[in-house]
Amino acid sequence: MSHPRGPLSQLRRGHEELVLELLRKHGPLSRGELGKHCGLSRTTLYDILAELVSTGAVVAASQQDGPRGRGRPAETLTLNPDAGQAIGIDFARRGLHVAAVNLAHEIVGTASEPHAADLPWEQRAELAWRLVRTLTGGGLELGALSAIGVGVVGPVGTVDPEDESDAGDESDPGDDGDFEAPHPVQLLLRERFGVPVLLDNNTRLAALGESIWGAAAGGQDVLYLRLSHGVGGGLVVGGSLHRGAYGLSGEFGHITVDEDGAPCGCGGTGCLETVASIRAVLESCRAAGLAADDVPELVKAAGAGDATALAVLAGVGAAVGRVLAAVCNAIGPSVIVIGGELAETGAALIEPVERALGAQVMPVSRHRVSLRRATLGEVAGALGGIALVLHESPLLSRYPAGPDLAPGLLRQEDPMNQSRHVAGRSGARPAKELP
Amino acid sequence: MSHPRGPLSQLRRGHEELVLELLRKHGPLSRGELGKHCGLSRTTLYDILAELVSTGAVVAASQQDGPRGRGRPAETLTLNPDAGQAIGIDFARRGLHVAAVNLAHEIVGTASEPHAADLPWEQRAELAWRLVRTLTGGGLELGALSAIGVGVVGPVGTVDPEDESDAGDESDPGDDGDFEAPHPVQLLLRERFGVPVLLDNNTRLAALGESIWGAAAGGQDVLYLRLSHGVGGGLVVGGSLHRGAYGLSGEFGHITVDEDGAPCGCGGTGCLETVASIRAVLESCRAAGLAADDVPELVKAAGAGDATALAVLAGVGAAVGRVLAAVCNAIGPSVIVIGGELAETGAALIEPVERALGAQVMPVSRHRVSLRRATLGEVAGALGGIALVLHESPLLSRYPAGPDLAPGLLRQEDPMNQSRHVAGRSGARPAKELP
């Protein structure tokens, strides 16, 4: 799971991908047949195959139905169906979400477990290990595990570790300002699982997850906004997660919506997060005379047509729509996905968002961008972690198309405002559904 | 210049790139030496070489200093110094800009010619042909020309041709709403020059040009804003031009800055373009009692410390800075480049931009993003056209590093607020300098 640079290393990875692609497409092939298809020299091909066999991605077997009469049957090579399993883990602030796929890109299962916000990393890693094992019914082939994709709260990227300013919540255990060194959870998981551990921001990974398996399945240019305790998001650009020059892209929550507004945790003033986070929305409700203690109560009030709830959500939606329009004009996505707990308020929030977006996005783009609610629920980040592995690993690369991914596991009921079920194969809990 | 998909075609292109890379690095090599370096089978390598020789990218020659005594000297292969010339042409609204490079990525020259805004495409293409010929002193090897990269005004992409809504100026000859069909100038140039013609929006190409040879040379994530008759821009994301899902990215001029503002040509209200275009700025000056007829007069007034000019530019700069901050928070670029005629007002505009940007960009990003004035002047788009060809053509791919590009041709005097001279080798005019 190194990240080789330079044309020769890239070419070698290209060769590996080609061989895997040929085996996916044609099924079992002999070395000679592979050689004819791929145009590589015998030496190069045998090198590549030795590597793929040693990593367990490819297995050799005697051909059963081959031509006979010219000595012993030729050995054929085939993809190892047990190999290349990938795991995604989302270390959210107050809970853990895991998901797993096999080499055929089928989701083996997903699971979640809440925990205290201050749980130390050692215990989180231990919890992840236990959860992954239940997920696979205890039958996880760790030797065949290719890599783990992990999401954590806070900026991940190439931010200068010497800079002490910080955009995130200071109580956030993953937000220690030292982004160049391995994250503690990378070391812990690496030791526990014995495979490479790829890391990114969990909200960005949710964007990637939604763009592959969720509301924006198949979308190459996707804008994802999460309205939760914090307000953040992610951009998928040309099918890949966009990180930005210093790992701070997708910070939609810190776009100014009111220059005379409230101070924000980021150090700014009047950021979207100061009006559209869960806390800000509940406080606005309280200030207007509606005592909703949490999002479910707000959802209930909005559903019952409470005028205060609707007015507050209309104001929030207008601010969200203005920000989305600005980003849309800059980037030109085909799909905007809104996730996070506040999206559960449904039309009371989404319709005002749509109105403001429609009013401020360039008229020529208005009918080209589609606004959708997230469908993957709380496992979006874990699924995005898997997508990260699929992106980075030659053994698992090339995405499946969304709906073909795992027939029977992913059932799409309504592409617009319904959720998909993402359920485990063996005892894992189904993903949380949006109402 | 087709755009092959699929692993096999991509691999073939990878092989071509590898062979060219090896010849660039090592100089002349025999077929045997190339074979050792690249790991390709003899058949594949000979195929690739035959193709490269037939397109003129590579030439075969007898080795002069090779080992003797074992038959005739081995034939060596070398890059053809006359081959792979690329041309960029910017068909701006009221003028034509051209630039050319050779296979060594040296700029052969640049040239510009103003014309009436309503000049028909046939005559523009003819003008381009004449200008390119003067540029190369009449010695352009058309047989060795690899491709032409062309910039035009208005959206270019995969916009639905049946949609009649349109974001651009209706008098704009390139803005005919039919974006799927070849642009008329593509057909005309293809016929005239006999090579593939790649097309993109000229402002986006200027963004690409600045990111490779200009103010953001070497930048992988660059935000470019042009303040001219229109207000637009472009994004370079991970070193590549970002087009967006439907060819409408970089429309910073249509981000709302005042919901109660003036109607905009795009159909919106209070867009940045309604306060920051040349016309809007000159009108604001007039309304405040300063009669500046054009940008040079405004530049003069600002330079002389005229209070009205400075106040107007301060207001414009604040609006520009707010928009840049929002886009920065969303995308996280490392460099922001401001170009267009209005950038010539210098600090009077740039300092207010910087203040507003600093106030509204996330504090954690504030010192990580650098604001610069464009340095390529009016040939930025033509140079971006060349970059487009370098991106798309295997024969010319892999960018040179900015400053090493063409020693003696590109002199950088001050990376911050001075321009670089981009002059022709043979009688072409130097690019317009910013003061």
Q: Does A9 touch chain B (CB under 8 A)?
A: no
Q: Do B268 and A363 touch (CB under 8 A)?
A: yes
pLDDT surpasses 90 at B274 = yes
Q: Which residues of chain B does A245 touch, with a Cβ-Cβ cutoff of 8 Å?
A: 219-221, 332-335, 368-369
pLDDT higher at A428 or A327: A327
Q: Which residues of chain B does A252 touch, with a Cβ-Cβ cutoff of 8 Å?
A: 329-330
Domain shared by B73 and B91, yes or no: no
State which residues form the domain around B233.
219-374
pLDDT higher at A419 or A84: A84
What pLDDT, on the 0 to 100 scale, is given for residue A404?
A: 28
- Please give, one letter per residue, the 3-state secondary structure of chain B: CCCCCHHHHHHHHHHHHHHHHHHHHHCCEEHHHHHHHHCECHHHHHHHHHHHHHCCCEEEEECCCCCCCCCCCCEEEEECCCCCEEEEEEEECCEEEEEEECCCCCEEEEEEEECCCCCCHHHHHHHHHHHHHHHCCCCCCHHHEEEEEEEECCCCCCCCCCCCCCCCCCCCCCCCCCCCCCCHHHHHHHHHHCCCEEEEEHHHHHHHHHHHHCCCCCCCCEEEEEECCCEEEEEEECCEEECCCCCCCCCHHHCECCCCCCECCCCCECECHHHHCHHHHHHHHHHCCCCCCCHHHHHHHHHCCCHHHHHHHHHHHHHHHHHHHHHHHHHCCCEEEEECHHHHHCHHHHHHHHHHHHHHCCHHHCCCCEEEECCCHHHHHHHHHHHHHHHHCCCCCCCCCCCCCCCCCEECCCCCCCCCEECCCCCCCCCCCCC
pLDDT surpasses 80 at B141 = no
| Contact between residue B111 and residue B130 where contact means Cβ atoms under 8 Å apart | no
* A435 falls within a domain: no
**Most trustworthy range by pLDDT among A131-135, A249-253, B25-29:** A249-253
Domain shared by A148 and A238, yes or no: no
What pLDDT, on the 0 to 100 scale, is given for residue A10?
A: 56
What pLDDT, on the 0 to 100 scale, is given for residue A196?
A: 84
Least confidently predicted of A232-246, A307-321, B64-78, B95-109: B64-78
Q: Rounded CA gap, B113 and B102, in Å?
A: 22
Question: Average model confidence (pLDDT) for chain B?
Answer: 79
Domain shared by A370 and A223, yes or no: yes
SS3 call for A321: helix
What pLDDT, on the 0 to 100 scale, is given for residue A134?
A: 80
| Per-residue model confidence as pLDDT tens digits over A373-402 | 999 999 999 999 998 887 765 444 433 323
pLDDT surpasses 80 at B427 = no
Q: Which residues of chain A does B268 touch, with a Cβ-Cβ cutoff of 8 Å?
A: 359-360, 362-363
- Specify the number of domains making up chain A: 3
Q: Among A27, A61, A79, where does a domain finish?
A: A79
pLDDT surpasses 80 at A432 = no
What pLDDT, on the 0 to 100 scale, is given for residue B2?
A: 36
* A434 falls within a domain: no
What pLDDT, on the 0 to 100 scale, is given for residue A176?
A: 39
| Per-residue model confidence as pLDDT tens digits over A313-371 | 999 999 999 999 999 999 999 999 999 999 999 999 999 999 999 999 999 888 899 99
Domain shared by B228 and B356, yes or no: yes
> What is the number of CB-based contacts under 8 A between chain A and chain B?
217
Res. B99 pLDDT band, cuts 50 70 90: very high
* A431 falls within a domain: no
User: Which B positions 333-372 lie with beta carbon below 8 A of chain A?
Assistant: 333-335, 359-360, 362-365, 367-369
pLDDT higher at B109 or B90: B90
pLDDT higher at A389 or B57: A389
What pLDDT, on the 0 to 100 scale, is given for residue B221?
A: 94
**DSSP assignment letter at A263:** B
Res. B358 pLDDT band, cuts 50 70 90: very high
Q: Which residues of chain A does B267 touch, with a Cβ-Cβ cutoff of 8 Å?
A: 362-364
What pLDDT, on the 0 to 100 scale, is given for residue B143?
A: 47
Res. A303 pLDDT band, cuts 50 70 90: very high
Nearest to A242 among B42, B237, B360 (CB): B237
What pLDDT, on the 0 to 100 scale, is given for residue B72?
A: 60
pLDDT surpasses 60 at A422 = no
Domain shared by B73 and B160, yes or no: no
What pLDDT, on the 0 to 100 scale, is given for residue A125?
A: 95
Res. B304 pLDDT band, cuts 50 70 90: very high
Res. B75 pLDDT band, cuts 50 70 90: confident
Least confidently predicted of A14-18, A112-116, A355-359: A14-18
Q: Do B368 and A160 touch (CB under 8 A)?
A: yes
pLDDT higher at B401 or B204: B204
Res. B20 pLDDT band, cuts 50 70 90: confident
| Per-residue model confidence as pLDDT tens digits over B232-243 | 999 999 888 898
What pLDDT, on the 0 to 100 scale, is given for residue A358?
A: 95
Domain shared by B410 and B298, yes or no: no
Q: Do B368 and A246 touch (CB under 8 A)?
A: yes
Calculate how close chain A gets to B166, using CA atoms only, in Å: 6
What pLDDT, on the 0 to 100 scale, is given for residue A71?
A: 58
What pLDDT, on the 0 to 100 scale, is given for residue A156?
A: 79
Q: Do A327 and B322 touch (CB under 8 A)?
A: no
Res. A67 pLDDT band, cuts 50 70 90: low
Over range B340-355, report the average pLDDT.
Answer: 97
pLDDT higher at B226 or A44: B226
Domain shared by B396 and B364, yes or no: no
Domain shared by B187 and B262, yes or no: no
**Most trustworthy range by pLDDT among A26-35, B59-68, B332-341, B364-373:** B332-341
pLDDT higher at A420 or A270: A270
* A400 falls within a domain: yes
Q: Does A158 touch chain B (CB under 8 A)?
A: no
Nearest to A362 among B254, B322, B334 (CB): B254
Calculate how close chain A gets to B358, using CA atoms only, in Å: 10
* B159 falls within a domain: yes
Over range A186-210, report the average pLDDT.
Answer: 91
What pLDDT, on the 0 to 100 scale, is given for residue B26?
A: 82
Q: Which residues of chain B does A225 touch, with a Cβ-Cβ cutoff of 8 Å?
A: none
| Per-residue model confidence as pLDDT tens digits over B178-188 | 345 788 999 99
Over range B80-106, report the average pLDDT.
Answer: 80
Q: What percent of chain B has pLDDT over 70?
A: 74
pLDDT higher at B173 or B104: B104
Domain shared by B96 and B49, yes or no: no
Q: Does A256 touch chain B (CB under 8 A)?
A: yes
Over range A205-227, report the average pLDDT.
Answer: 94
Res. B8 pLDDT band, cuts 50 70 90: low
Over range B334-345, report the average pLDDT.
Answer: 97
Least confidently predicted of A109-113, B19-23, B199-203: B19-23
Q: Among B79, B111, B142, where does a domain finish?
A: B79
For A336, the closest chain B residue by CA position comes to B245
What pLDDT, on the 0 to 100 scale, is given for residue A59?
A: 84
Over range B205-224, report the average pLDDT.
Answer: 93
* A429 falls within a domain: no
Q: Among B60, B79, B98, where does a domain finish?
A: B79
Domain shared by B316 and B237, yes or no: yes
User: Which A positions 201-240 lie with beta carbon below 8 A of chain B?
Assistant: 219-221, 235, 237-238, 240
* B214 falls within a domain: no
What pLDDT, on the 0 to 100 scale, is given for residue A170?
A: 37
Question: Average model confidence (pLDDT) for chain A?
Answer: 79
Q: Does B15 touch chain A (CB under 8 A)?
A: yes
Q: What percent of chain A has pLDDT over 90?
A: 47
Q: Rounded CA gap, B263 and B375, in Å?
A: 32
Whichever domain contains B121, its CATH number is 3.30.420.40
Res. A172 pLDDT band, cuts 50 70 90: very low
Least confidently predicted of A155-169, B193-207, B224-238: A155-169
* A147 falls within a domain: yes
Domain shared by A382 and A276, yes or no: no
Residues written for chain A: 435
pLDDT surpasses 90 at B359 = yes
pLDDT surpasses 90 at A64 = no
Domain shared by A190 and A233, yes or no: no
Nearest to B249 among A242, A252, A331 (CB): A331
What pLDDT, on the 0 to 100 scale, is given for residue B187?
A: 92
SS3 call for A382: helix
Q: What percent of chain B has pLDDT over 90?
A: 47
Over range B319-334, report the average pLDDT.
Answer: 97
**Closest C-alpha among B101, B109, B97, B83 to residue B150:** B97
Q: Do A251 and B330 touch (CB under 8 A)?
A: yes
Over range A205-219, report the average pLDDT.
Answer: 92
Res. A84 pLDDT band, cuts 50 70 90: low
Nearest to B11 among A14, A331, A364 (CB): A14
Least confidently predicted of A360-374, B50-64, B117-131, B367-381: B50-64
| Contact between residue A419 and residue A410 where contact means Cβ atoms under 8 Å apart | no
